[in-house]
Structure 1
């Protein structure tokens, strides 16, 4: 006579083993900007971010930019380098106003929505590399 009580545990562990062994995982990128260039260029990588998100109408552009910070392409670097402004802090990049304001809870920038992780990591990498005007 066939004994189900002895077969069921073997059947269960066999199915469990097959299921566990057949699982595979795709390797995800370890960093949101894995394809980012090694050296971040202000003119090539950062200015387009500023143009799309910061130097828009009624924000950081024109003759009276918000917070007196003009981030239009031809004025952005000079504005960010203002003495004592704290916009750029290469000694402690995460404390740079231009970076920390992206994560502010009281007045986040840009006001119409957060930047994606890839974009914020590009900005941080640029700051970590000395915030050069290249």
Structure 2
């Protein structure tokens, strides 16, 4: 085998290894693991603080990075497009993202996924996704 083929083979193997490790799902948090919330969920008191501290941070969903989940725009962005489905809350894109059913769960990494995020988001959507 020539040196050229060995080098190309090494580069391809290195790229595959990098790709596999860099795209690995770190956690999937299913709604089955979260207790159902039956009390009223407030967007401003329960949802936005989680979005602000875990999602609307530099390099994630703030400023020009879509969807912008900063306090000034989060409610409009979530309810103005196709991210929320109040008819079938479990099929809402935002819910599928945070539970890891659509791709890598959000926020990225298990350490960043706040306790009860899935249940709070689902309860808020089931309660009509109100701006309260």
Q: Same fold (TM over 0.5)?
A: yes
- Relative contact order higher in (CA < 8 Å, ≥ 6 apart): 2
Q: Which residue of 2 aligns with 1:20?
A: none
TM-score, scaled relative to structure 2: 0.65
Query: For 2:67 and 2:99, how far apart are their aligned partners in 1?
Result: 18
Structure showing greater radius of gyration is 1
Query: For 2:93 and 2:86, how far apart are their aligned partners in 1?
Result: 11
| Gap regions ≥5 residues in structure 2 | 1-32
| Gap regions ≥5 residues in structure 1 | 1-30
Q: Give 4+ residue runs of structure 1 displaced > 3 Å after superposition.
A: 31-34
What is the CA RMSD across the aligned residues, in angstroms? 2.3
Classify the secondary structure of the residue corresponding to 2:118: helix
Q: Which residue of 1 aligns with 2:100?
A: 104
Query: Which among 77, 91, 97 is matched to residue 95 of structure 1?
Result: 91
Q: CA deviation at 1:104?
A: 2.3
Native 8 Å contact 2:97 2:106 kept in 1: yes
Q: Which residue of 1 aligns with 2:61?
A: 60
What is the total number of aligned residue pairs between the two structures?
A: 98
Query: For 1:120 and 1:56, how far apart are their aligned partners in 2?
Result: 19
